[in-house]
Amino acid sequence: MATQTQQQISVLSMSTLAFTMCFAVWVMFSIIGIPIKTSLGLNETQFGLLAATPILTGSLIRLPLGMLTDKVGGRIVFFILMLSTVIPIYLISFATAYWHFLVLGLFIGVAGGSFSVGISYVARWFPKKRQGFAMGIFGAGNAGAAVTKFVAPALVVAYGWQAVPQVYAIAMLVMAILFWIFTYTDTAHHVSSQITIREQLAALKDPNVWKLCQYYSIVFGGYVALSLWMTKYYITEYGFGMQTAALLAAIFVLPSGVIRAMGGWLSDKVGAHRMTWWVMWVSWICLFLLSYPQTEMVVQTTKGQMSLHLGLNVWMFTALLFILGISWGFGKASVFKYISDEYPDNIGVISGIVGLVGGLGGFVLPIMFGAIVDLTGINSGIFMLMYGVTWVSLIWMYLTEVRKVPMIKTAAADTLE
């Protein structure tokens, strides 16, 4: 019989690996969507919808999955969730029409709901003082997006895009079996059966929960959206091939996922508010610089015309994107430190709500990205949009946590009472 510590390590490691696999599947269209876009003659908005469709179901299902996890435990929910995606993933390789991909995308999107299952399952295995670090390690499974950046382009080039869903379906089945074998169930972690769904959903009336949703919509929703979009951005903006573009995009995706573990540890040390405050300011600065489009200017001088070019070269752009990814990795961890600190008995539901809204950001943003590019022709317009979202988060945080405006504080207190 394994000791408590061995069970904790096994649950954390297997849950993280399973989430990594689920996340890789969740963002699969960010790579295979590019050749599909070409073969079907899709515009930018249609590509955005294709890439984002799995994000929709993966987001919407997070709340009910979080509630279910609180009731029956994460092990069985996680296992069934992974099994349910295997056949839809495999069927993508046989799709030929745009609507085929959209419908199947809705089914494979269920994999994205694994976050609210795993975060609640993992957190309950650890004491409060170590929950931030444990949740941060689990959240590092976001690096599954980087796995897709590395693996999928190589498969596309060598065997065609159809090979990607076929390989991923087999990998998901193997992962589900290994997860079931090496994880454990502790019924003491389950929420009392006397607690009703209505009582669980009472958290929706809490303004503080919606504030956390706003934070997460940029640090996670923005991360997912850029994970889906950056490969194509490097292709259209800088003219790279798919494999090079995917590798450059991974410079943003991989560190942002992996650093989340350190973000959880730091959030335990310095507090969720201080960490999130600095994350928002760093994001604000990076997004402001990334927003500037490639610009050619002609200046009239006493010696004639002088041409100036303003814009980020690929190395400056990638460096800023890297910094942005690191800050969002910290932010994803700090938001969930808020949850474990403020809602210790309702982690599954609160994480489900926050994860749902953050995931919806990952769904809506790529579609808006496509619309912005189609309407303006300016690739960097996508960063202008996220710059505005970050402004909202900064203002909200300043009013409620720095200035602590009495009216907002009182409204929250009244709701909780």
pLDDT, one tens digit per residue, over 268-290 is: 888 888 899 999 999 999 999 99
Residue pLDDT, tens place only, 197-247: 676 667 677 788 888 888 999 998 998 899 889 999 999 999 999 889 999
Contact (Cβ atoms closer than 8 angstroms) between residue 75 and residue 125 = no
Distance between CA atoms of 336 and 344, rounded to whole angstroms?
A: 11
Which one-letter amino acid corresponds to residue 149?
K
Which one-letter amino acid corresponds to residue 44?
E
Tokens 């990076």, residue?
286
Contact (Cβ atoms closer than 8 angstroms) between residue 275 and residue 331 = yes
Ranges of the chain with pLDDT below 70: 1, 188-197, 199-201, 203, 345, 348, 405-417
Tokens 């808006």, residue?
368
The angle that helices 163-182 and 4-26 make with each other, rounded to 10 degrees, is 160
pLDDT at res. 10: 93
pLDDT at res. 362: 87
What contacts 249, CB < 8 A, 6 or more positions away? Answer: 149, 227, 230, 231, 233, 234
Tokens 């190395």, residue?
315
Residue of 149, 314, 109, 302 whose CA lies nearest to 231: 149
pLDDT at res. 315: 93
Q: Which residues pair with 295 in a beta bridge?
A: 310
Between the alpha carbon of residue 251 and those of residues 220, 226, 229, 258, the distances in Å are 16, 12, 14, 11
Count the residues in the chain.
Answer: 417
Phi and psi at residue 355, in whole multiples of 5°?
A: -65, -35
Domain 4-416 grouped into CATH 1.20.1250.20 = yes
pLDDT at res. 413: 43
Phi and psi at residue 183, in whole multiples of 5°?
A: -120, 175
> Residue 66: how many CB atoms within 10 A of its CB?
30
What contacts 355, CB < 8 A, 6 or more positions away? Answer: 59, 62, 63, 66, 115, 116, 119, 216, 220
Between the alpha carbon of residue 283 and those of residues 79, 186, 219, 394, the distances in Å are 36, 39, 9, 10
